[in-house]
Amino acid sequence: MPVRIVSIFGTRPEAIKMAPLVKRLEADPDVQSVVCVTGQHRSMLKQVLDLFGIVPAHDLEVMTANQSLNGLASRLFAGLDDILVAEQPDRVLVHGDTATSMAGALAAFHRRIPVGHVEAGLRTGNLMEPWPEEMNRRVVDVVSDLLFAPTASSKANLLAEALSGQVIVTGNTVIDALRLMCTRLDQDAPLREAIDARLPAIDPSLPLLLVTGHRRESFGDGFDHICAALATLAQTGKLQIVYPVHMNPNVRGPVLAALDNIPNVFLTAPLEYPDFVRLMQRASIVLTDSGGVQEEAPALGKPVLVMRDVTERPEALAAGTVRLVGTERDSIVRAVLELVDNEQERRAFARRVNPYGDGHASERIVAALTGKPFEAFPSDTLPGYRHPLFVLQGGTASM
Binding site for ligand UDP (CB under 6 A): 12-13, 16, 174, 212, 214, 244, 270-271, 273, 276, 290-293, 296
Within 10 A of 10 (CB to CB), how many other CB atoms are there?
Answer: 29
DSSP codes, 291-321: HHHHHHHHHTT--EEE-SS--S-HHHHHHTS
Task: Between 253 and 320, name the residue whose CB sits nearer to ligand UD1.
Answer: 253
- What minimum distance in Å lies between the beta carbon of 290 and ligand UD1? 7
Backbone angles phi, psi at 200, to 5 degrees: -60, 155
Please give the residues from 83 up to 102 whose contact with ligand UD1 meets the rule CB under 6 A. Answer: 97-99
DSSP 167: E
DSSP codes, 236-257: TTS-EEEEE--S-HHHHHHHHH
SS3 373: coil
Task: Between 89 and 291, name the residue whose CB sits nearer to ligand UDP.
Answer: 291
Q: Is the peptide bond before 383 cis (omega within 30 degrees of 0)?
A: yes
Task: Between 313 and 360, name the residue whose CB sits nearer to ligand UDP.
Answer: 313
By the 10 Å C-beta count (0-12 exposed, 13-18 middle, 19+ buried), 360 is classed as buried
Region near ligand UD1 per CB under 6 A, out of 6-14, 29-37, 84-92, 189-197? 6-14
Please list the active-site residues.
97, 119, 133, 214, 216, 246
- What minimum distance in Å lies between the beta carbon of 294 and ligand UDP? 8
Region near ligand UD1 per CB under 6 A, out of 40-48, 173-181, 261-269, 350-358? 40-48
Task: Between 316 and 369, name the residue whose CB sits nearer to ligand UDP.
Answer: 316
Please give the residues from 323 up to 362 whose contact with ligand UD1 meets the rule CB under 6 A. Answer: none
**Does residue 71 bind ligand UD1 (CB under 6 A)?**
no
**Does residue 248 bind ligand UD1 (CB under 6 A)?**
yes
Task: Say which residues have a Cβ less than 8 Å from residue 8's Cβ, sequence separation at least 6.
Answer: 36, 37, 38, 80, 92, 93, 94, 100, 101, 104
Task: Between 34 and 118, name the residue whose CB sits nearer to ligand UDP.
Answer: 118
DSSP 93: E
- What minimum distance in Å lies between the beta carbon of 337 and ligand UD1? 28
SS3 14: helix
- What minimum distance in Å lies between the beta carbon of 101 and ligand UDP? 11
Strand partners, 116: 93, 146
Cβ proximity of 305 and 336 under 8 Å? yes
- What minimum distance in Å lies between the beta carbon of 306 and ligand UDP? 11
The only residue of 21, 31, 44, 147 in contact with ligand UD1, by rule CB under 6 A: 44
Instruction: Report the C-alpha gap between 68 and 83 in whole angstroms.
Output: 23
Cα–chain-centroid distance for residue 258? 26
**Does residue 67 bind ligand UD1 (CB under 6 A)?**
yes
Binding site for ligand UD1 (CB under 6 A): 11-13, 40-44, 63, 65-67, 69, 72, 97-99, 132-133, 214, 247-249
